[in-house]
Structure 1
């Protein structure tokens, strides 16, 4: 039973860490897109 609980805790931690990583990458990509958009608008 203890092994099962430990397995769920490890899996839950990995899942939460993965979500934070994906969310952070999405924000970085969004900021990069905004920078490109702003540069294109200024070049007009």
Structure 2
């Protein structure tokens, strides 16, 4: 019974870490897309 509880706890921790990682990844991607769009507008002004 105890071993089942520990494996369940590990699974919950793993899922929380995975979700946190996904959130960070999405934030970084949004920031990256903003930089790309800023670069494009800057380059277009240069032309």
TM-score past 0.5 threshold? yes
TM-score, normalised to structure 1, is: 0.85
Q: How many residues align?
A: 44
- Who is 1:40 aligned against? 40
Instruction: Give me the CA root mean square deviation.
Output: 1.0
Unaligned runs of 5+ in 2: none
- Who is 1:19 aligned against? 19
Q: How far does residue 40 in structure 1 lie from its aligned partner after superposition?
A: 1.6
Bigger-Rg structure (1/2): 2
- Who is 1:28 aligned against? 28
TM-score, normalised to structure 2, is: 0.80
